[in-house]
C-alpha cells in the first residue's frame, strides 16, 4: 500500500495539463513491450484508466531497465539500503523485468466507488494496494486517486507525472541542484514500482527466502509499523522520508551491534523488505543516470 495523505507533495496536475509539446507525441505512443508480456490490465479499468496504466507501466519498465544495474557503491543504493542488500536490489529490478524469472504475468485492476469491498482500502489518500483476490491471485488495485479522480486536494500527493511530462534538460527533469526528491517520486511509475515489490512471485525471485508460510507477504510497508525507538508510536510520515529513515535506523543499529551495545533496538522491517525503499532508490538511480547535472549528495528529502 502506498499512502500520500500528507501535505508534503505538491500538485503537478496544472503543469501536466499545459499544452503538450511536440516531443511528447512520439514518446507517448511507444509502449514498452513488457507491458503486454507481463501484465494483464483487467476490464474493470475504463479506457482512460487503461491508457494511464499503460503509460505508468511503460515508464516503470524503463526505470527498472536502468535500475537493475545499481551497485552498493551508488548513492541511490546507500540512501536506502544496507550493504547486506547488495544482491537483493538489482535482483528486484531484474525480477520486475523477467516476471519473477519465469515471465509470469500479474493482474492490475481499478477500484471504483461501486466496489465497496475494495474501496475502503482507498480511503485516507491511498493510491494503490496489493491484495489476494477470491481466486488466490495477487493483484495490484489502483485507487481513484491514482488517476487523479477525485483530484487530490491541494498539497496532497499525485501520480500524475510520466517520464514524457518533461524533457531531460535543465528546464525539465534535470534541474540544477538541489534536487527535490518529491519531484521524481510523483511519477505514476513510482507507485507501480512500489506495488510490484509486494507481489510474492516477484519478491521471492529477488530475495530468495527460505520456504515461506502460505500467504506470507515478503515485502511490506513500514508505514504504521511500531516505532522501536518511541514505544506506543508508529511510523507515520511521507513514505520516501520513512524509507530513508529506515536506512538510518539500520545503520545506527548495526553500528551499535558492532560495538556490542545491545540496548539499541532493531527496526521492525529490514530495508530489503520495505516496498518504498526499492521505488525511491530505483527512481533516484534512474535520474542520476539520465541527468548529467544530478548530484546525489544534493537531494532534498521533501515533496516540493
Ligand atoms: Zn505498499
Between the CA of 27 and the centroid of ligand 1 the distance, in Å, is: 29
Of the listed ranges 20-29, 58-67, 146-155, 241-250, the one predicted with least confidence: 20-29
Kindly state the cell numbers that stand for 70: 545499481
Distance 13 CA to ligand 1 centre (A): 23
Q: How far is CA 85 from CA 32, 168, 196, 206, 274, in A?
A: 28, 30, 18, 11, 12
- Taking alpha carbons only, the member of 157, 213, 219 closest to residue 190 is 157
The Cα-based distances of 216 to 2, 213, 220, 301 in angstroms read: 19, 6, 10, 31
**Cα–Cα distance measured from residue 132 to residue 292, given in angstroms and rounded to the nearest whole number:** 42
- Average pLDDT on 246-253 reads 98
Q: Where are the domains of the chain?
A: 2-300
Do 174 and 292 form a contact (C-beta atoms < 8 A)?
yes
For residue 196, the CA-to-ligand 1 centroid distance in Å is 9
Question: How close is the Cα of 222 to the center of ligand 1, in Å?
Answer: 8
More confident call, 119 vs 93:
93
Q: Measured in whole angstroms, how far is the alpha carbon of residue 67 from the centre of its chain?
A: 13
C-alpha cell at 171: 528546464
Q: What is the pLDDT of residue 157?
A: 54
* Residue owning grid cell 538541489: 178
C-alpha 268 to ligand 1 mean position (Å): 15
CA of 109 to the centre of ligand 1 (A): 16
Residues 163-176 have a mean pLDDT of: 95
Q: For residue 47, is pLDDT > 80?
A: yes
Q: What is the mean pLDDT of the chain?
A: 88
Mean pLDDT of 113-134: 86
Contacts of 192 (CB under 8 A, 6+ apart): 56, 57, 59, 60, 128, 140
Query: Mean pLDDT across the stretch 161-185?
Result: 94
**Cell of residue 42, nine digits:** 483487467
d(CA 194, CA 146): 13
- Closest by CA to 80, choosing from 223, 295, 246, is 246
**Measured in angstroms, how far is the CA atom of residue 170 from the centroid of ligand 1?**
32
CB-based contacts of 242: which residues, under 8 Å, 6+ apart?
222, 223, 235, 276
Cα 8 from Cα 107, distance rounded (Å): 30
Q: How far apart are the CA of 57 and the centre of ligand 1, in A?
A: 17
Q: Which residues pair with 161 in a beta bridge?
A: 187
User: What separation in Å is there between the alpha carbon of 192 and the centre of ligand 1?
Assistant: 10
* Grid cell in block for residue 260: 556490542
Topology of domain 2-300, per CATH?
A: Collagenase (Catalytic Domain) (3.40.390)
Do the beta carbons of residue 69 and residue 290 sit within 8 Å? no
Residue 14 has pLDDT above 60, yes or no: no
| pLDDT of 24 strictly over 80 | no
3-state secondary structure of 192: helix
Spatial contact of 188 and 55, defined as CB atoms under 8 Å apart: yes
pLDDT tens for each residue of 52-107: 999 999 999 999 999 999 999 999 999 999 999 999 999 999 999 999 999 999 99
Who surrounds ion ligand 1 at CB < 5 A? Answer: 1, 221, 275
- Tell how far the Cα of 191 is from the centroid of ligand 1, in angstroms: 9
pLDDT band at 3 (very low <50, low <70, confident <90, very high): low
The reported pLDDT for the residue numbered 2 is 58
Ligand 1 centre to CA of 291 (Å) is 28
Of 233, 236, 222, 207, residue with least CA distance to 268? 222
Amino acid at each position: 500500500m502506498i499512502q500520500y495523505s500528507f501535505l508534503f507533495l505538491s500538485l503537478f496536475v496544472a503543469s501536466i495539463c499545459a499544452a503538450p509539446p511536440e516531443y511528447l507525441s512520439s514518446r507517448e505512443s511507444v509502449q514498452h513491450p513488457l507491458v503486454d508480456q507481463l501484465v494483464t490490465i483487467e476490464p474493470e479499468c475504463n479506457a482512460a484508466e487503461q491508457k494511464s496504466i499503460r503509460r505508468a507501466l511503460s515508464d516503470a519498465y524503463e526505470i527498472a531497465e536502468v535500475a537493475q544495474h545499481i551497485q552498493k557503491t551508488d548513492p541511490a543504493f546507500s540512501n536506502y539500503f544496507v550493504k547486506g542488500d547488495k544482491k537483493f536490489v538489482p535482483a528486484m529490478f531484474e525480477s520486475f523485468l523477467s516476471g519473477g524469472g519465469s515471465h509470469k504475468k500479474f493482474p492490475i485492476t481499478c477500484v471504483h466507488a461501486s466496489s465497496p469491498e475494495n474501496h475502503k482500502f482507498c480511503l485516507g489518500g491511498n493510491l494503490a494496494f496489493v491484495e489476494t483476490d477470491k481466486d488466490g491471485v495477487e493483484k495490484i488495485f489502483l485507487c481513484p486517486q491514482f488517476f487523479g479522480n477525485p483530484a487530490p486536494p491541494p498539497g496532497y500527493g499525485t501520480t500524475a507525472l510520466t517520464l514524457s511530462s518533461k524533457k531531460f534538460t535543465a528546464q525539465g527533469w534535470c534541474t540544477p541542484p538541489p534536487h527535490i526528491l518529491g519531484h521524481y517520486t510523483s511519477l505514476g511509475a513510482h507507485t507501480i514500482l512500489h506495488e510490484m515489490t509486494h507481489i510474492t512471485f516477484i519478491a521471492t525471485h529477488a530475495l530468495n527466502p527460505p520456504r515461506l508460510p502460505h500467504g506470507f507477504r515478503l515485502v511490506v510497508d513500514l508505514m504504521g509499523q511500531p516505532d522501536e525507538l518511541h514505544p506506543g508510536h508508529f511510523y507515520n510520515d511521507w513514505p520516501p522520508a520513512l524509507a530513508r529513515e529506515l536506512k538510518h535506523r539500520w545503520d545506527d543499529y548495526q553500528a551499535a551491534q558492532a560495538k556490542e551495545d545491545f540496548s539499541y533496538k532493531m527496526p521492525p522491517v529490514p530495508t530489503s523488505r520495505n516496498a518504498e525503499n526499492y521505488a525511491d532508490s530505483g527512481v533516484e538511480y534512474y535520474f542520476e543516470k539520465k541527468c548529467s547535472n544530478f548530484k546525489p549528495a544534493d537531494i532534498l528529502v521533501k515533496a516540493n
